[in-house]
Amino acid sequence: MRKYFKYFLYLYVFIGYSLSNAGSYDDFIAALHFDRPEVIQKLLARGFDPNTPNEKGIPGLLVALESESPKSALVLAQHPLTQVNAENRLGETPLMLAAIHNQIELAKVLIARGADVNRQGWTPLHYAATRGHRDMMRLLLDHEAYIDSEADNGTTPLMMAAYYGTPASVKLLLEEGADPTPRNQSHVNALDLALKVNQQKSAFYIQAFTEAWEIKELGE
């Protein structure tokens, strides 16, 4: 009888623990979607895993970023156990998403915690250039972002800035030393892309720097 009593006691404790964890999980996921950092802080203080994924297998930090919950994302990024180089189903990292959404403070925390500024394929600098976020671009460049990094299709940050970004972001990259001459797998360069979307000012900058590069190469 005593043996059965101990069995039921362990079963009761196990079920209670499971239900408690289930409740914590639901609270965590809801807090990520509705940007409730205070809930996340309480869960983390109780030992909840900051890398807990949602039902699609996406880690918490990425869920917060994809849900546009910046305060929750910042809380998770600051936690010492959070994996800052996790990737979502598209291969995007937290720093890449912070870059495209221009979340400067979050990006600083991620970089300080070891987030990859340079990586194979698309990079945070590509993402920042796509939206023309100059301050974010400067931050990444100040932390050794490779200015001429090529995505899998050969596209550089300058090409992204020329096609999607702003003339100011194009000018920044050129002044920081971006090479305006490479062509991607579609055989187009930054100037071609700027002209395609009628970004005349960007095209002017690129043409001027291209001529300077050609003169420089002749001199060498």
Counting Cβ atoms within 10 Å, is residue 89 exposed (0-12), middle (13-18) or buried (19+)? exposed
Q: What is the dihedral of CA 73, 58, 125, 200, to 10 degrees?
A: -100
CA 122 to CA 96: how far, in whole Å? 9
- pLDDT tens digits for range 51-83: 999 999 999 999 999 999 999 999 999 999 999
Q: Which residue has the higher pLDDT, 216 or 16?
A: 216
SS3 59: strand
Of 109, 115, 110, 34, nearest in space to 68 by CA: 34
Q: Beta partners for 59?
A: 53
For residue 46, what is the enclosing H or E element?
Answer: none
How many other CB atoms are found less than 10 A from the CB of residue 98?
Answer: 30
Q: How much is the CA Rg of the chain, to the nearest whole Å?
A: 23
CA distance 156 to 164: 12
Decide if 92 contacts 100 (C-beta within 8 A): no
pLDDT at residue 78, as a whole number: 98
pLDDT recorded at residue 30? 95
Interatomic CA distance for residues 73 and 34, integer angstroms:
11
Percentage of the chain exceeding pLDDT 90? 84
pLDDT at 23: 74
HSE-CB at 54 with a 13 A cutoff on CA atoms is 18
pLDDT band at 13 (very low <50, low <70, confident <90, very high): very low
Going through 24-157 in order, the beta strands assigned E by DSSP cover: none
If phi over 0 gives left and psi between -120 and 50 gives alpha, with beta otherwise, what is residue 179? beta
Query: What is the rounded CA–CA span in Å between residue 60 and residue 62?
Result: 5
- Reported as a single tens digit per residue, the pLDDT across 156-186 is 999 999 999 999 999 999 999 999 999 999 9
Confidence of residue 6 (pLDDT cuts 50, 70, 90): very low
Residue pLDDT, tens place only, 81-93: 999 999 999 999 9
pLDDT-based confidence at residue 1 (cuts at 50, 70, 90): very low
Nearest partner of 57 among 82, 88, 33, judged by Cα: 88
